[in-house]
Chain A
Amino acid sequence: DTAVSQTPKYLVTQMGNDKSIKCEQNLGHDTMYWYKQDSKKFLKIMFSYNNKELIINETVPNRFSPKSPDKAHLNLHINSLELGDSAVYFCASSHPYNEQFFGPGTRLTVL
């Protein structure tokens, strides 16, 4: 039983395209996150959602938008993809102030 799942695992696309990454958790957690890990391995928080409300929105381009249809899902939509968007994107979930459980990651490559 996968706790946090992401699809797709790999995503290769052309510059300018729009793409989405899906995330689902079956742990009953209240908070979900999206992280970007670049080639230097830095883990940068992009968004977090608590009970369907955005509580952190880091200085990411507005081409990125999180969508949470319900407490178990937090999808990431990216418009007009750029070369610099190439990275591994991780979804995670947790109870407040508690350990975070990560999904397996989505490796996005923009050509």
Chain B
Amino acid sequence: QQPVQSPQAVILREGEDAVINCSSSKALYSVHWYRQKHGEAPVFLMILLKGGEQKGHEKISASFNEKKQQSSLYLTASQLSYSGTYFCGTEINTGNQFYFGTGTSLTVIP
């Protein structure tokens, strides 16, 4: 029931773009995105609810395709501060069941 993320790891140069994908085998009510820096707790980025709405947050945006049970996180013009591990989190329609994805390690280098 744990969503699968791809890629597992990515290295970018400052200013480059990246896409992180999250795929679930279950019908989803919502998708969350979090970023965790080394030694710290995960921090919320955004939530997407059933309905396919795309949301944005500074240069980070996300989409949610409920038919395909997939979500993608888009990072544009990456900055050094974007480095960390990104997790999607999914809530399943059948109740308050919440699962984090497998994680994507993102490293931005100068």
Interface residues of A (CB under 8 A from B): 31, 33, 35, 41-45, 48, 50, 55-56, 90, 96-105
Contacts and interface: CB of A to CB of B under 8 A. Distances in A.
A43 B103 contact: yes
B41 A104 contact: yes
Contacts of B87: 43
Interface string B45-59: 001010000000000
Q: Please classify the interface of chain B as helix (H, G, I), strand (E, B), loop, or mixed, using the class held by over half of its residues.
A: strand
Nearest to A33: B98
Interface in B88-110: 89, 91, 95-100, 102-103, 105
B97 A56 contact: yes
Closest 10 CB pairs of A and B: A102-B41, A43-B100, A99-B44, A55-B96, A102-B42, A41-B103, A105-B41, A104-B41, A99-B47, A97-B30
B87 to A, nearest CB: 6
Interface residues of B, number: 26
A105 B41 CA distance: 7
Nearest to A101: B44
Interface string B31-50: 01010100011111001010
Contacts of B79: none
Nearest to B87: A43
Contacts of A90: 41-42
B85 A100 contact: no
A50 B96 contact: yes
B82 interface: no
A96 B96 contact: yes
Nearest to A96: B96
B96 A56 contact: yes
B99 A42 contact: no
Chain B CB within 10 Å, residue with most, of A31, A43, A55, A104: A43
A31 B105 CA distance: 28
A41 B104 CA distance: 10
Given A97-B30, A100-B32, A101-B44, A42 B103 contact: yes
